Amino acid sequence: MARRLDVCDLANGTLTMKLVGENDFQVEACDAPVGQIIRRKRSFGRAVWFWSLSGPHIPETMNAAGSNAQTLDGAKQAVKRNFDDWLHSATGQPGNIPWDKSLPHR
């Protein structure tokens, strides 16, 4: 069963990053995982920062959120922008937001 979070709590909260491995961050909102930012090496020694939103239920009308950025700051900005877009779509919806079923219940 999915954990459910209140949109108002999410709207009033802040996104935080928790280091979970070398160059691997879990992005959280209201102490719940929202997504991930991780640095990966590409060809010719180049590195990029992959980011994704994976916590909230993303309606079929929205594209899945995830891509890459050249810098950690760029990835942070992309996560924030996409989370805010998702949050805007969720605001005003009835009930609480279904969250990824792998989250612990509180």
Q: Report yes or no on 105 lying in a domain.
A: no
- Residue 102 domain flag: no
CA 62, CA 54: separation in Å to the nearest integer?
13
- Residue 103 pLDDT > 60, yes or no? no
Q: What pLDDT score was predicted for residue 11? A: 73
User: How far apart are alpha carbons 64 and 95 in whole angstroms?
Assistant: 22
Which of 3-12, 22-31, 47-56, 84-93 has the highest mean predicted lDDT (pLDDT)?
A: 22-31
| C-alpha–C-alpha distance, residues 17 and 36, integer Å | 9
Residue 65 domain-assigned (yes or no): yes
For the chain, percent of residues with pLDDT exceeding 70: 67
The confidence score (pLDDT) of residue 65 equals 73
In a domain, 104, yes or no: no
Could you tell me the residue range of the domain that residue 81 belongs to? 4-91
In a domain, 8, yes or no: yes
Q: Which pLDDT value is given to residue 106?
A: 34
Question: In percent, how much of the chain has pLDDT > 90?
Answer: 30
Pick from 16-25, 65-74, 79-88, 94-103: least confident: 94-103
Number of domain units in the chain: 1
* Residue with the larger pLDDT of the pair 51 and 32: 51
